[in-house]
Chains A and B, each alone.
Chain A
């Protein structure tokens, strides 16, 4: 019930493409859903986050779509660039508590 399932495990797109990474959860008590970007050998960096009262949030080229009834949320990266190649993690938490992370998606954007 505390799990967050993330897919796909890896993703390859061409420059300019729109990679989509999906996450699903079971616990309806989750009230905060962030996405993190991690480069090799570095700590995760907070990209964008959403609360369950909003269906979509956009920051720059990154968009979160949130479907409360389906208990799913996804990250879209518009006009992807080779510099976006990294591992992306979704997560969820309750009331500012510990983050439950998805398994991660390794994204490769080809020039």
Chain B
């Protein structure tokens, strides 16, 4: 149980275009999902916390107009990187928290974004 999927696993896009990444909890309902960014050989950097049906809470320094997050249902959250630039190239990972009172967070397999 507690499986989280992400789509796509890899995406290459041209500078200036937008890219949407989907995060789904497959066998549980996730009222809260989290989006992370990870650079090579580094730890995970939290970008935003997404609660179903409400606006995402962004971490300091993360541009909310550039990284649009939508959590439309209890099993789906999306991250859209708008007007992508080469410096946005990174590994993006989502996680989902089980239940209202649960502490466990389960991570998706990640999405490798390359902006050319």
Known: A49-B103, A99-B105. A43 touches B110 (CB 8 A): yes
Spot the interface stretch: B40-48, B63-71, B82-90: B40-48
Whether the pair A43, B93 counts as a contact (CB closer than 8 A) is yes
CA distance A28 to B102 in the complex (A): 20
Known: A98-B49, A101-B44, A104-B42. A42 touches B110 (CB 8 A): yes
CA distance A23 to B105 in the complex (A): 19
Q: Give the chain B neighbours of A34 by CB distance below 8 A.
A: 103-105
Interface size on B, residues (CB 8 A): 25
CA distance A32 to B101 in the complex (A): 12
Residues of B72-116 at the interface with A, using a CB-CB cut-off of 8 Å, are 91, 93, 95, 97, 101-110, 112
Interface size on A, residues (CB 8 A): 22
Question: What are the 10 A-B residue pairs with the smallest beta carbon separation, nearest first?
Answer: A43-B107, A32-B103, A43-B110, A96-B103, A43-B109, A44-B107, A101-B43, A43-B93, A104-B43, A43-B108
Query: Main SS of the interface on chain B?
Result: strand
Cβ distance B69 to chain A, nearest Cβ, rounded Å = 14
Cβ distance A37 to chain B, nearest Cβ, rounded Å = 11
Name A's B-contacting residues (CB within 8 A): 31-32, 34, 36, 41-46, 49, 89, 93, 96-99, 101-104, 106
CA distance A83 to B109 in the complex (A): 18
CA distance A56 to B65 in the complex (A): 44
CA distance A36 to B103 in the complex (A): 14
Contact partner of A44 among B32, B93, B103, B112, CB < 8 A?
Answer: B93
